[in-house]
Amino acid sequence: MQVNERYFNDNTNQMHEIEDVLTEGEKVLWRGKPNKTSYIWAAVLKMMPIALLWLAFDGAFIYMMLTADEAPTEMMWFIIPFFAIHLAPVWIWIGNIVKAVGEIRNIEYAITDKRVIVRSGMVGIDFKFINHTEIDSVNVKVSFVDRLCKVGDVYINSTSNSAVLFDLENPYNIAKNLQKLSYDVKTDVQYPNALRPDENNGYGTVYTDDTF
């Protein structure tokens, strides 16, 4: 048997788009991106009360120590590194905001006739795949910010993996259609049904229901 040694190596460093990871004959039924406003504001509001209270407390303490008449200069070598570490919740909060701003441009979701694809990453591009046959449940969660922006998060749980499609318009409709698609594909794999073409091609069958 002749083996193609380049099968798993061709263009691996150039796969940045969803089209690059589609298999032969794979059909994209839906694709979308998070609502930018909702995604960034969710990062801003997360931990904000704790971070601001922490900053106010440490800021007041630092101010009192620096303005004290008898504050020894030697204490600065202790005060500066101590509060640099003690302000960790503030740095984490700021880091989450910077991360959200940096990664939003790279996030994209796609639902194909075979799987769910999640494209993400801040510096490099990461891909997560969940096959329809592995999906156990699909849920929708809507936060306060999501409600203001008229979006929602779709949570996908599977036997081996999980993913969240953040800040999508029409999240209930997407979740409903994804649940139906997953059920149809799993049923078709286990018990070939009318979704197959006239000639039963097994694994190579094409999903024919226009769900999305």
Give the start-to-end residue ranges of the domains of the chain.
41-100
Alpha carbon distance 200, 182 (integer Å): 20
Segment 138-153, tens digit of pLDDT: 999 999 889 999 999 9
Segment 181-200, tens digit of pLDDT: 998 888 877 765 555 556 65
Give the residue carrying structure tokens 């286990």.
190
Q: Strands across the sheet with 28-32, in order?
A: 28-32, 108-112, 115-120, 126-131
- Tokens linked to 2: 């002749």
Segment 24-68, tens digit of pLDDT: 889 999 999 999 999 999 999 888 989 999 889 888 887 777 776
Alpha carbon distance 166, 40 (integer Å): 11
pTM: predicted TM-score of the whole model, two decimal places: 0.76
- Tokens linked to 141: 């969660």
- The neighbour count for residue 154, using CB atoms within 10 Å, is 23
Determine the residue type at 64: M
Which of 64, 68, 44 is CA-nearest to residue 56?
64
